[in-house]
Amino acid sequence: MLVLSVAILLPLSVVAALPSQFEASCPKGCNCTPVKIECVDVHSKDPQEIFPHASPAIFKDLDTLTVTGNDFGDLRGRNLFDKGVKNPKVTLANFTNDGITGFDEKTFEGLSGVEYLYLANNNLTEVGKHPFRHMAKLKYLDLSNVFGRGVSAKVKADILRDLFDANDDRFIELSGILLDDNGLEFLHPDTFCKVGGLSRLHLKNNKLTEFPIPKNGECFPSLKDLILEGNRFEVIPEELYGDNIALTGFDVSRNPLKCGCEAQKFIKYAQRDDSDFMNQDFTTCDSPIEFKNKRIFQMNPDDLCPSSGGHSFFFLLLTIIIVAIFAYRYARVHNISLSVPQRIPFVAGYSVLKSNEDGTVPQFV
């Protein structure tokens, strides 16, 4: 009986000790399940050490692919999984902090089903044309701190324009784009015009002084949330809060706002629709000095513009002073004496004038 039990249990224990096909195919240093592959801080320099292992022949239900903490460099010119291989069921791909310096349309060819793509904290210096051509289902794109050191402001703006220059990739589903912490100084006016469904745009902690939005709002028909926190805006242009755009989430906190007469209209709008504004405690004036650090929601907009009467009086007084100075200098140059008469005729009134007339009327005898 004992021999029989051992004979039965021994094969079962051997089978239990064998790794599953998912564990056997899992890249070194990663954790794998039928629906998820996680490779965190593997420190690989060759993407072929990881991605070909995620073959759809084995991971046919793979939904989430996380590969972070590597140094892959330039990924242009090749499919991550290998030529012709696609993993269409992957909906989330996280490639943050992977040292990626470049990618193009072939790079993500095998990820046609991705809806959420994270590319933050890389070293991007250039991209090929239409890099998201095969990602027609893309909904959310995180490009925070994506650029490498030394990339100029112009190159950054050019790369972003190229990323969203639609061809066959129509960005029908793309609604959220994160571009925080990129040191952006400007954006080309047509950067987002091909992303018709864009509703959330985050540009936190950059160096922007203006935002390229057409006056008719044609490039942002769906925009609802605009995050401009931590930039260098001094004046918020009317195109961002006028009738051409209908924001329901607006953040201009931690900007050096000038609260002068030019800000009056914006502050009135902000106070009227304050429920649309985020980070209100940090949306403050930077200048002039009398309003520094004061929340724009606590101000009286009428205090921002001095009365027109005061301006008119000051201008008149200044004009009189300038004319007097020029008259004095002219007289000095031409030796014209500007003496004040010692005796100034004085007319006391009608009664005095009448008595004087009586004294001058001829007397007839």
Q: Which residues contact 161 (CB under 8 A, 6 or more apart)?
A: 188, 190, 191
Q: What is the tens place of the pLDDT at every residue in 199-244?
A: 999 999 999 999 987 666 678 889 999 999 999 999 999 888 877 7
Portion of the chain with pLDDT greater than 90, in percent:
65
Residue 356, in any domain of the structure: no
- Asked, for residue 329, whether it belongs to a domain, the answer is no
Calpha distance 98→117 (Å, rounded): 13
**Domain encompassing residue 225:** 20-308
For residue 327, being part of any structural domain is answered with no
Q: How many domains does the chain have?
A: 1
What does the pLDDT look like over 9-64, one tens digit per residue? 444 443 344 456 777 789 999 999 999 999 999 999 999 999 999 989 899 999 99
365 or 249: whose pLDDT is higher? 249
Q: Is residue 13 in some structural domain?
A: no
List b or e across 10-28, with b for residues whose CB sees 16 or more CB atoms inside 10 angstroms.
eeeeeeeeeeeebeebbbe
- pLDDT tens track for 262-281: 999 999 999 999 999 999 99
Instruction: List pLDDT tens digits, range 96-152.
Output: 999 999 999 999 999 999 999 999 999 999 999 899 999 999 999 999 999 999 999
User: Which residues lie across from 344 on neighbouring strands?
Assistant: none
Pick from 165, 156, 75, 157: nearest CA to 111 = 75
Q: How many CA atoms lie within 13 A of 46 on its CB side?
A: 7
CA dihedral 8, 14, 16, 18 (to 10 degrees): -160
Cis omega (within 30 of 0) for bond into 47 = no
pLDDT in tens, 88-110: 999 999 999 999 999 999 999 99
Opening angle at CA 101, ends 98 and 106, nearest 5: 95
The span from the CA of 198 to the CA of 310, in Å, is 47
pLDDT of 361 above 50: no
CA angle (315 as vertex; 310, 321 as ends), nearest 5: 130
Residue 334, domain member (yes or no): no
Confirm whether 341 is domain-assigned. no
Give residue 337's pLDDT: 61
Helix (H, G, I), strand (E, B) or coil at 264: helix
Helix (H) or strand (E) holding 36: strand 36-40
Any domain includes 6: no
CATH number for 64: 3.80.10.10
User: Nearest 10 degrees: CA dihedral of 25, 28, 32, 38?
Assistant: -140
Averaged confidence pLDDT in the chain: 84
pLDDT score, position 227: 98
Helix/strand/coil for 303: helix
Residue 328 lies in a domain: no
